[in-house]
């Protein structure tokens, strides 16, 4: 189970375009060296989503708070501020996997855990194919981070939801002395073109100063 900084929940629950913003809480984000500025087309639904009926999404997303949506699109977006403790959780079913335990980089560790949840037979070749590492210049100029990784997964099996959420994009960013930042985009094939065109704006919705 992932462990999140509690500030994530208290800030995002008060944030939505067209609603009042609790600036005192946003100032606390500022004190962490973080910026929260999602694109205007995102709207806060506020739901808590626990994917108990979908084994793959349950392993990857666990329970997500404060869902964002996009009008006319079949997608769900979640912004997470993650503590390092979540990456060494002894209750994680993959924590003792020998292949994963050899990974020295915590960011890669988390992404590999996600891929392993979707594809239990994943190996180093699949990791190399699915995981994108951003170059130093792009990492700095677009995200003001030190390391940035992402992946796109095709969720196996038939969706339990009315909407066929069959795709998942995830980006994770790291800057020394700051929390890890993760963005998850869950979407249907119908919304693929929109998400591909707008993913950078979504990923830049939370970042470092």
How does pLDDT run across 43-55, given as a tens digit for each residue? Answer: 998 788 998 888 8
pLDDT at 79: 93
Would you say 41 and 56 are in contact if contact means Cβ atoms under 8 Å apart?
no
pTM of the model: 0.80
Alpha carbon distance 68, 40 (integer Å): 11
Q: Which percentage of the chain shows pLDDT scores above 90?
A: 47
pLDDT at 100: 35
**Is residue 1 domain-resident?**
no
Handedness of CA 55, 60, 62, 64 (dihedral sign): negative
How does pLDDT run across 137-178, given as a tens digit for each residue? Answer: 999 999 999 999 999 999 887 555 656 889 999 999 998 888
Q: Mean pLDDT: which of 23-27, 36-40, 50-54 is highest?
A: 36-40
Average per-residue pLDDT in the chain? 78
What's the CA angle centered on 104, arms 78 and 108, to 5 degrees?
25
**Is residue 72 domain-resident?**
yes
Alpha carbon distance 37, 117 (integer Å): 30
User: How many domains are there within the chain?
Assistant: 1
Residue 39 has pLDDT above 60, yes or no: yes
**Is residue 2 domain-resident?**
no
**Is residue 178 domain-resident?**
yes
pLDDT at 73: 95
How does pLDDT run across 81-119, given as a tens digit for each residue? Answer: 875 444 444 444 434 444 433 344 677 888 998 999 999
Would you say 185 and 168 are in contact if contact means Cβ atoms under 8 Å apart?
yes
Alpha carbon distance 82, 57 (integer Å): 18
Print the domain residue range for 169: 7-208
């Amino acid at each position: 189970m992932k462990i999140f900084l509690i500030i994530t929940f208290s800030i995002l629950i008060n944030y939505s375009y067209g609603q009042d913003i609790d600036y005192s809480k946003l100032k606390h984000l500022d004190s962490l060296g973080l910026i929260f500025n999602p694109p205007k087309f995102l709207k806060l639904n506020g739901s808590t989503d626990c994917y108990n009926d979908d084994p793959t999404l349950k392993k990857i997303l666990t329970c997500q708070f404060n869902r964002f949506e996009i009008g006319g699109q079949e997608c769900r977006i979640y912004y997470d501020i993650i503590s390092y403790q979540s990456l060494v959780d002894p209750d994680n079913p993959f924590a003792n996997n020998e292949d994963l335990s050899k990974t020295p980089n915590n960011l890669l560790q988390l992404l590999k855990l996600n891929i392993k949840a979707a594809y239990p037979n994943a190996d180093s070749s699949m990791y190399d194919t699915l995981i994108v590492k951003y170059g130093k210049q792009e990492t700095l100029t677009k995200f003001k981070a030190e390391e940035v990784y992402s992946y796109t997964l095709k969720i196996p099996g038939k969706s339990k939801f009315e909407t066929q959420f069959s795709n998942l994009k995830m980006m994770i960013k790291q800057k020394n002395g700051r929390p890890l930042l993760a963005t998850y985009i869950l979407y249907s094939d119908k919304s693929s073109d929109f998400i591909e065109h707008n993913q950078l704006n979504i990923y830049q919705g939370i970042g470092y100063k």
